[in-house]
């Protein structure tokens, strides 16, 4: 397939640009943006910079992602009938976590490869390190988005538990605090470490208040003057009401307790309890949800969604899902402060907080470099009954459309195509047709690969594809003079015309060499010999040779005669059959009866009377004609003798 692009601004001869296009190839139109958000166009090409193919299927590490997730996908389709009642949600959450674990495993492996690639000593290609690092960022973003979708759409966490899930989400994806903690605690005097207060602040920002209290205790031990303030702040951290998973208190009780605690924190600020310690005072301001104090920690928060979760933790701990989008939008605006525009990742997360599933899928389809993410996420959300009403204008739903695109991409790879088969299988509308179209385009480079493709087609009763593949393999075999293999494939394809062609090659080969090749195949044709008259003749003719070898001359003679009289034998092979009858005619025992002998004579006369008249013969033709004439004379003589013997024998039998 070719893709034509019309480029305005170019002369008429160059307006059309043609690109070869095949399955699994993705069009990526890339352009750069300036600080004001306006696109910067290349001269002479005002809309497109360059086009490249989707190369993700050729990444060794991403291939593991495709392989592992394939098993999860197929398992989900098979347990669909079991997904009922309360267990449905739990099983879908488990499937979602399995997908995320595969993403994380690939991300960690890619990270190790990126580190090794950047090593100037060990790396063979240091430049590839940047490519791997970029892929790590993409995988990290994929897990971030998937995790949020899991919380909002699959877990469907209510007010209270919702914040707990969001805290876990932030802690999982903002993990710099762990290395910072190891660095500080590994020093001789942690409280004097230059990053000590940064560590305490990050722990508070992530709601890890128990760890923050432990750090404050080290400060209290090292600085007696601030010990009292550390104790008071530590008590505030300890007494902060939190709805834990096993807690039975209601949201109303939590809100009352939290309001009382919040007022106590504000009272300490008003009383200037921490005035002599800017660090402790800043921490207390964070704990009362002071937006200005939070925004001062932009560098430690690192992104707006971390700011959002921290803000909810210390200002709206019982936030309801329906109100999330309001706080998310205001947090994004406050964090960016009009200094920069939202990135594609920001738009995706914002769409999720707005519970706009279709926008999430749309934005991900645009931002990500392959179809894996959107195909599997959409399939999972479809099992959650969240996409049932969204049909596309061309007859398929969103789930099926994305699965078809992903499976098509897999078919571009020499081994991943086998995974794509299962994805097509679970697309009820267009999957079968798409599989038929794609499977015909698989290059059958080896017979082993061809057998895999053939088995897939046979399992799905794809008759036309089975026939086509078998014919291709039969043609390859006949070109390599592998007649047995060619005959086997033509029989498997149930192609009578090709079976006839191969049978003719067998007979011609026999005429030239005087023996058959691939005897096992011919001897075990069975019912397959009924596929064509020529194949039937080949099988029966081989049976005649077997009977002759077993000295079953009468049965052999009867079979030989029936091959000629039934018109199954090709006329060009009659002389060979008559020549095969010659030893039977010369046997001491009368093999052919008088009636059979008359039939042989009639066949011989039909053959000789219908011989074509040639022009001026050359020397070779004269020699061949002499040989044929000699054969005919010998046959006539043998037939005459046998007729006389048969008449005498039959007459004597009648007389007795």
By the 10 Å C-beta count (0-12 exposed, 13-18 middle, 19+ buried), 104 is classed as middle
pLDDT at 198: 92
Location of structure tokens 């939202």: 342
Q: Is the pLDDT of residue 382 over 80?
A: yes
Minimum mean pLDDT among 35-39, 81-85, 323-327, 650-654: which range?
35-39
Q: Is the pLDDT of residue 35 over 50?
A: no
Q: Is the Cβ–Cβ distance between 411 and 442 less than 8 Å?
A: yes
Q: Is the pLDDT of residue 324 over 50?
A: yes
Mean pLDDT over 309-322 rounds to: 93
Residue 11 pLDDT grade (very low, low, confident, very high; cuts 50, 70, 90)? very low
Q: Is the pLDDT of residue 16 over 80?
A: no
pLDDT at 270: 92
- Better-predicted residue by pLDDT, 498 or 428: 428
- Better-predicted residue by pLDDT, 487 or 163: 163
pLDDT at 654: 63
Mean pLDDT over 83-111 rounds to: 88
Q: Is the Cβ–Cβ distance between 168 and 132 less than 8 Å?
A: no
Q: Is the pLDDT of residue 506 over 60?
A: yes
Ordered by start, the domain boundaries in the chain are: 1-49, 57-159+357-384, 169-319, 444-541, 551-610+618-655
Contacts of 577 (CB under 8 A, 6+ apart): 541, 560, 563, 564, 569
Mean pLDDT over 165-181 rounds to: 88
Q: Is the pLDDT of residue 30 over 80?
A: no
3-state secondary structure of 259: helix
Give the C-alpha distances (Å, rounded to integers) separating 113 from 56, 64, 104, 130: 16, 14, 14, 11
- Better-predicted residue by pLDDT, 442 or 549: 442
Q: Is the Cβ–Cβ distance between 305 and 170 less than 8 Å?
A: yes
Q: Is the Cβ–Cβ distance between 277 and 228 less than 8 Å?
A: no
Residue 37 pLDDT grade (very low, low, confident, very high; cuts 50, 70, 90)? very low
d(CA 358, CA 364): 10
3-state secondary structure of 45: strand
pLDDT at 34: 42
Q: Is the pLDDT of residue 411 over 60?
A: yes
Q: Is the Cβ–Cβ distance between 76 and 379 less than 8 Å?
A: yes
pLDDT at 124: 58
d(CA 329, CA 334): 9
Minimum mean pLDDT among 139-143, 362-366, 564-568, 619-623: which range?
619-623
- Based on its alpha-carbon atoms, the radius of gyration of the chain, rounded to whole angstroms, reads 42
Give the C-alpha distances (Å, rounded to integers) separating 4 from 19, 26, 53, 602: 7, 14, 15, 70
Out of 254-258, 508-512, 514-518, 582-586, the most confident range is 254-258
Mean pLDDT over 75-93 rounds to: 81
Mean pLDDT value across the chain = 81
Q: Is the pLDDT of residue 284 over 70?
A: yes
What's the number of CA atoms in the CB half-sphere (13 Å) around residue 576? 18
pLDDT at 327: 95
Strands, E assignment, 314-471: none
Residue 2: its H or E element: strand 2-6
By the 10 Å C-beta count (0-12 exposed, 13-18 middle, 19+ buried), 366 is classed as exposed
Beta bridge pairs of residue 17: 5
Location of structure tokens 């500080």: 184
Residue 123 pLDDT grade (very low, low, confident, very high; cuts 50, 70, 90)? low
Mean pLDDT over 236-254 rounds to: 83
Largest Cα–Cα distance of the chain, in whole Å? 145
Residue 589 pLDDT grade (very low, low, confident, very high; cuts 50, 70, 90)? confident
Residue 572: DSSP 8-state: G
Q: pTM of the predicted model, to two decimals?
A: 0.76
pLDDT at 125: 62
d(CA 642, CA 74): 74
Residue 17 has phi, psi (to 5 degrees) of -120, 125
Residue 196 pLDDT grade (very low, low, confident, very high; cuts 50, 70, 90)? very high
- Better-predicted residue by pLDDT, 224 or 128: 224
Contacts of 642 (CB under 8 A, 6+ apart): 585, 590, 591, 592, 597
Residue 268: its H or E element: helix 251-270
Residue 390 pLDDT grade (very low, low, confident, very high; cuts 50, 70, 90)? low
Question: How many beta carbons lie within 10 A of that of residue 11, not counting itself?
Answer: 6
Location of structure tokens 């722990």: 203
Share of the chain above pLDDT 90, in %: 36
Q: Is the Cβ–Cβ distance between 409 and 26 less than 8 Å?
A: yes
pLDDT tens figures, 366-375: 988 789 999 9
- Better-predicted residue by pLDDT, 324 or 614: 324
């Amino acid at each position: 397939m070719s893709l034509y692009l019309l480029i305005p601004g170019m002369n008429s001869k160059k307006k059309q640009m043609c690109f070869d296009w095949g399955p699994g190839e993705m069009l990526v139109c890339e352009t750069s943006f300036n600080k004001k958000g306006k696109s910067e166009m290349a001269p002479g090409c005002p809309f497109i910079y360059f086009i490249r193919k989707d190369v993700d299927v050729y990444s060794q590490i991403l291939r593991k992602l495709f392989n592992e997730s394939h098993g999860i996908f197929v398992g989900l389709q098979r347990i669909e009938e079991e997904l009922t009642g309360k267990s449905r949600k739990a099983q879908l959450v488990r499937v979602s976590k399995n997908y995320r674990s595969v993403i994380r495993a690939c991300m960690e492996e890619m990270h190790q490869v990126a580190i090794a690639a950047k090593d100037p000593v060990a790396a063979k290609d240091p430049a590839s390190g940047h490519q791997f690092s970029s892929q790590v960022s993409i995988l990290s973003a994929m897990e971030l988005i998937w995790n949020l979708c899991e919380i909002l759409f699959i877990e469907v966490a209510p007010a209270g538990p919702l914040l707990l899930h969001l805290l876990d989400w932030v802690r999982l994806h903002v993990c710099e605090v762990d290395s910072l903690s190891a660095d500080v605690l590994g020093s001789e005097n942690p409280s004097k470490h230059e990053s000590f207060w940064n560590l305490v602040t990050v722990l508070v920002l992530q709601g890890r208040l128990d760890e923050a209290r432990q750090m404050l205790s080290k400060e209290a031990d090292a600085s007696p003057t601030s010990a009292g303030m550390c104790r008071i702040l530590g008590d505030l951290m300890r007494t902060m009401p939190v709805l834990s998973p096993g807690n039975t208190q209601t949201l109303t009780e939590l809100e009352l307790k939290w309001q009382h605690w919040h007022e106590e924190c504000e009272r300490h600020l008003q009383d200037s309890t921490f005035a002599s310690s800017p660090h402790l005072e800043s921490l207390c301001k964070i704990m009362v949800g002071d937006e200005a104090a939070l925004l001062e920690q932009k560098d430690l928060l690192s992104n707006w969604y971390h700011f959002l979760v921290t803000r909810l933790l210390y200002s709206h701990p019982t936030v309801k899902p329906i109100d999330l989008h309001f706080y998310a939008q205001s947090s994004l605006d406050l964090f960016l402060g009009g200094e920069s525009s939202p990135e594609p990742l920001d738009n995706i997360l914002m769409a999720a907080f707005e519970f706009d599933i279709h926008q999430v899928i749309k934005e991900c389809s645009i931002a990500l470099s392959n179809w894996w993410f959107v195909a599997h996420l959409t399939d999972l959300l479809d099992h959650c009954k969240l996409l049932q009403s969204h049909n596309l204008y061309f007859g398929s739903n969103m789930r099926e459309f994305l699965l078809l695109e992903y499976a098509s991409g897999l078919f571009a790879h020499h081994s991943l195509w086998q995974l794509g088969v299962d994805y097509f299988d679970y697309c009820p509308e267009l999957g079968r047709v798409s599989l038929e179209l794609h499977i015909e385009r698989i290059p059958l480079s080896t017979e082993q690969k061809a057998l895999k493709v053939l088995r897939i087609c046979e399992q799905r009763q794809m008759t036309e594809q089975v026939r086509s593949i078998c014919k291709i393999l039969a043609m390859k075999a006949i070109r390599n003079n592998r007649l047995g293999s060619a005959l086997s494939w033509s029989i498997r394809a149930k192609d009578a015309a090709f079976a006839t062609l191969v049978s003719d090659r067998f007979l011609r080969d026999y005429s030239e060499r005087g023996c058959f090749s691939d005897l096992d195949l011919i001897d075990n044709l069975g019912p397959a010999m009924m596929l064509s008259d020529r194949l039937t003749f080949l099988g029966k003719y081989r049976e005649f040779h077997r009977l002759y070898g077993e000295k079953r001359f009468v049965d052999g003679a009867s079979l030989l005669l029936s091959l000629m009289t039934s018109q199954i034998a090709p006329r060009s092979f009659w002389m060979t059959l008559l020549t095969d009858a010659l030893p039977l005619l010369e046997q001491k025992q009368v093999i052919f009866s008088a009636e059979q002998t008359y039939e042989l004579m009639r066949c011989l006369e039909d053959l000789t009377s219908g011989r074509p008249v040639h022009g001026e013969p050359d020397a070779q033709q004269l020699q061949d004609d002499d040989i044929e004439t000699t054969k005919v004379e010998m046959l006539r003589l043998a037939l005459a003798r046998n007729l006389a013997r048969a008449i005498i024998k039959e007459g004597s039998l009648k007389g007795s």
